[in-house]
């Protein structure tokens, strides 16, 4: 008979251990992406940091290396498939594999109305929030399955569940990303696990554009927006062996958002 998990605190720690793993985080140079990059490094992973801003990626990579882990900074616009293909080739050349993929990069411009939303805006929003994760998840997921397994975390938004006309294209693209999670989980399972992390309002750098009230209160059970570091425990859970029987799932981290 196996020993109950609650009686093995060392085993509980091991479940969240990412030692010897390589994580690739898109949009990893700021906001929630940066928090996840540093959390993975503290859990023992080496991390590839990518976004459109190479200098910002290099700064975060330096933070990872200061924690004693290896890191690589690579520029990539995830809305462009040719750049994704080059990114995957570069990562599999060195460090040589991906054990954890986090599709975190996104964009959420507002529009005055649906009728005034341009085709160009829709194309850009869908490219970054859906097409990019589709391509990256397909390429990396296939390689993970061929190598024996891995985990993919798609970072969506509660906007996909509680949409509004002012961010219609974003809500629709993130809803498609939620469905993509299930498709990837079925295609590359059982060795590759794929889940959706669905954040609500968080006080990242974009919150400086919010009204003051939105930075201090929120329509959720917690009564406030989240602090960036509060994404870490859920990200670690989904990326690590702690979630070994969780795949195709959507996990909300929104303080109990209800409107």
Active site residues: 170
Reported as half-sphere exposure (CB side, CA atoms, 13 A), residue 95 has a value of 20
Listing from the earlier edge strand, what are the strands of the sheet with 150-155?
Answer: 71-75, 46-51, 22-26, 100-103, 150-155, 192-199, 250-253
The CA distance from 73 to 65, in Å, is: 11
The DSSP result for 93-112, as a single string, is HTT---SEEEE--------S
The CA distance from 107 to 64, in Å, is: 25
Question: Distances from the Cα of 125 to the Cαs of 40, 122, 155, 156, 173, in angstroms?
Answer: 28, 5, 15, 13, 7
Burial class (CB in 10 A: 0-12, 13-18, 19+), 141: buried
The CA distance from 241 to 15, in Å, is: 5
Of the candidates 105, 47, 45, which has an alpha carbon nearest to the alpha carbon of residue 76?
Answer: 105
Question: Distances from the Cα of 115 to the Cαs of 57, 130, 165, 168, in angstroms?
Answer: 37, 22, 10, 11
Round to the nearest angstrom and report the end-to-end CA distance of the chain: 47
């Amino acid at each position: 008979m196996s020993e109950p998990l609650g009686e093995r605190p060392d085993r509980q720690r091991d479940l969240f251990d990412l030692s010897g793993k390589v994580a690739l985080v898109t949009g990893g140079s700021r906001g929630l992406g940066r928090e996840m990059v540093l959390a993975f490094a503290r859990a023992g992973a080496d991390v590839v940091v990518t976004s459109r801003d190479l200098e910002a990626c290099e700064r975060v990579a330096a933070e990872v290396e200061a924690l004693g882990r290896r890191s690589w900074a690579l520029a990539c616009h995830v809305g462009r498939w040719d750049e994704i293909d080059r990114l995957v080739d570069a990562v599999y050349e060195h460090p040589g594999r991906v054990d954890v993929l986090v599709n975190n990069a996104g964009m959420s411009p507002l529009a005055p109305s649906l009728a005034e939303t341009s085709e160009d805006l829709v194309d850009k929003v869908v490219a970054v929030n859906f097409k990019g994760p589709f391509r990256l998840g397909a390429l990396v997921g296939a390689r993970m399955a061929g190598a024996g397994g891995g985990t993919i975390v798609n970072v969506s938004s509660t906007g996909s569940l509680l949409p509004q006309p002012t961010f219609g294209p974003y809500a629709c693209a993130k809803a498609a990303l939620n469905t993509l999670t299930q498709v990837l989980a079925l295609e590359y399972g059982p060795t590759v696990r794929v889940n959706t992390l669905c954040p609500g309002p968080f006080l990242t750098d974009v919150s400086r554009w919010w009204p003051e009230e939105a930075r201090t209160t929120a329509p959720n059970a917690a009564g406030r927006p989240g602090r960036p570091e509060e994404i870490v425990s859920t990200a670690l859970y989904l990326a690590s062996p702690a979630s070994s029987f969780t795949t195709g799932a959507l996990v909300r981290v929104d303080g109990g958002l209800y409107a």
